[in-house]
Amino acid sequence: MKFNFASVLQFFLFVIAQVVVTSYVNFSPYIYICFYPLFILSMPTKTPHMILLSLSFSMGLLIDILTNGIWGMNAAAATFLAYIQPALLKVIFSKGELENQIRPGLADLGMIRYTIYIFSGLLIHLSIFSIIENFGTPFIFENLLRMVISIIINTLIILLIEFGVFYKNTR
Amino acid sequence: MTNRSPLVKSIAAFILFVILEAVALVLISNESIIQQIRIMGFYMNMQEKTIKTKTDIKYYFSLDEVNEQLMAENTRLLQELAKYKAAEEAVDSSYSDTTTVNLPQPDSNVVSKMNLAVKQLSVPYKAKFTYIPAKVVGSSSNRKHNYLIINKGKVDGLDKDMGVISPQGVVGVISAVSDNYAYVISYLNVNQSVSAKLSGSNAFGPMIWDGKRINYAVLTEIPQHIKFHYGDTVRTSGFSTLFPPDLPLGTVKKSKIIKGTHHEIQVKLFQDFKTLLYVRVVKNNDRQEIDQLSKGNEI
């Protein structure tokens, strides 16, 4: 992966967009919009794992700081997701496809596989987020409901972003 | 970085992951009181479990010492008991001998009998058996002629042809002694036998090991008219200088009649020779006397 200007810009744009959405858009307590996992999930294959982890951690921490949240919450969840990402890629891609460095996007995976990929990534991310938030099982019903709704909404949002922003560029 | 092996890379990634997560958790616990309480609770819980495990392990390793202490204690008690038994026997025989003594209550308890014996007859009694505790340091149990090695020898007063017992039954007979160790021919030896009796009827016969299974032995020469039940206890008869009487050996498992004359009883032994660790050597204080007597009168 080359660290060109575009990817650095992407990093900061994701942070800013996430901060703006979290700060100014509030639908309901049951909906927690977070689409920055898209950045982690669409890091190209064969990215050095250490770089992936560091980037995710700093992104999560930046978002935490800028949204006045609890410092470390998003960082912990994002780091975990980054740690899992290569394994997830191995599951989603078939063996030959992983030889080259590719961006795991809608263009390469196709609709169904991409949806599954995003869905499972978000499931991991939000589960970890929820676990860290509660450290136990108080309000388990509310939390599960929030998680399910958030996963569905966020999957849709991420699919839209992917389709609108990145899909065209690769064609 | 690119030239390193994938294993090193993955380990480095894992370490970085753990560090980052730890940093995140520390940040969280500094920021939010709820998470702090939860994390501290988890930490305390872990600590408590660790301490408990540590204590358990310590306790387990001290068991050895405790066992030895208990063993010494038990031996001391047995010796005391042997003394009292000897006294009781002395009193019992004195009843039949001295009819002139007016005994207040023949059925009174043992203590008063002994007091009486001490007071009136002043019998100089001493224990018939002395017990020496020992630990098994080597053994076999999967041959036809098995052996044990115990950590007491000539120095501790052991000698050839002494019986070895454990609370669960007979263990064997000493066949050779060195200064600090003794070689015991295990009861699990096809040449070994012990005089045993059925606890109900007191019928006795030699109990031998048939060499088939390590927890079964065969009690033979029990006359056909003797009645017993399955599950009856088999004990040592005491008709030898080796073992004290009434030591429990096992229970009756099944029996068959041989040649229409006597029972052959299969006995399930209490003793587990596979896990045997602490034993006692039986020292018969009257052995020399008995041996001389029988030697002089042999035909």
- What predicted TM-score, i.e. pTM, was given to this entire model? 0.47
Instruction: Tell whether the model's pLDDT for residue B285 goes beyond 60.
Output: yes
Which residues in A lie closer than 8 A to residue B45 (C-beta atoms)? none
- Of the candidates A46, A153, A157, A42, which has an alpha carbon nearest to the alpha carbon of residue A107? A42
Ranges of chain A whose pLDDT falls below 50:
1, 171
Within its chain, how far is the Cα of B10 from the centroid?
55
What's the pLDDT band for B18 if we cut at 50, 70, 90? very high
Residue B213 tokens read as: 């299974």
Residue B122: its pLDDT value, please?
47
Report the run of H or E that residue B243 belongs to, with start and end. none
- Read off the pLDDT of residues B177-217 as tens digits, 9 standing for 90 and up: 998 899 999 888 888 888 999 988 888 899 988 888 888 99
Select from B13, B30, B38 the Cβ nearest to the Cβ of A49.
B13
What is each CA distance from B210 to A107, A120, B187, B275, in whole angstroms?
81, 68, 11, 20
CA-to-CA distance for B288 and B291, rounded, in angstroms? 5
Instruction: Tell whether the model's pLDDT for residue B229 goes beyond 80.
Output: yes
Residue B56: its pLDDT value, please?
84
The shortest C-alpha distance from A133 to chain B (Å) reads: 7
A99 class by beta-carbon count within 10 Å (0-12 exposed, 13-18 middle, 19+ buried): exposed
- CB of B184 within 8 A of CB of B149? yes
CA-to-CA distance for B208 and B140, rounded, in angstroms? 18
What is each CA distance from A67 to A60, A61, A74, in whole angstroms?
11, 10, 11
CA-to-CA distance for B112 and B119, rounded, in angstroms? 10
B228 class by beta-carbon count within 10 Å (0-12 exposed, 13-18 middle, 19+ buried): middle
Residue A169: its pLDDT value, please?
54
CA-to-CA distance for A2 and B140, rounded, in angstroms? 71
Question: For residue A68, what is the nearest residue in chain B, using CA coordinates?
Answer: B31
DSSP secondary structure, A120-150, as one string: HHHHHHHHHHHHHHHSS-TTHHHHHHHHHHH
Q: Does the beta carbon of B32 lie under 8 angstroms from any beta carbon of chain A? A: yes
What is each CA distance from A122 to A84, A118, A126, B216, in whole angstroms?
12, 6, 6, 66
Instruction: Tell whether the model's pLDDT for residue B223 goes beyond 60.
Output: yes
Mutate one of B8, B11, B28, B43 to test the A interface: name it (highest A CB count within 10 A). B28
Mutate one of A135, A137, A139, A143 to test the B interface: name it (highest B CB count within 10 A). A135
Q: Cβ separation of B21 and A49 shorter than 8 Å?
A: no
Residue A115: its pLDDT value, please?
92
DSSP secondary structure, B130-183, as one string: EEEEEEEEEE--SSSEEEEEES--GGGT--TT-EEEETTEEEEEEEEE-SS-EE
Q: Does the beta carbon of B175 lie under 8 angstroms from any beta carbon of chain A? A: no
Question: For residue A132, what is the nearest residue in chain B, using CA coordinates?
Answer: B35
Select from A53, A54, A71 the Cβ nearest to the Cβ of B27.
A71
Q: Cβ separation of A72 and B9 shorter than 8 Å?
A: no
Q: Cβ separation of B21 and A136 shorter than 8 Å?
A: no
- Read off the pLDDT of residues B81-123 as tens digits, 9 standing for 90 and up: 888 877 777 776 665 544 444 444 445 566 665 565 555 544 4
Residue A3: its pLDDT value, please?
57
Q: Does the beta carbon of B11 lie under 8 angstroms from any beta carbon of chain A? A: no
Select from A61, A73, A135 the Cβ nearest to the Cβ of B39.
A135
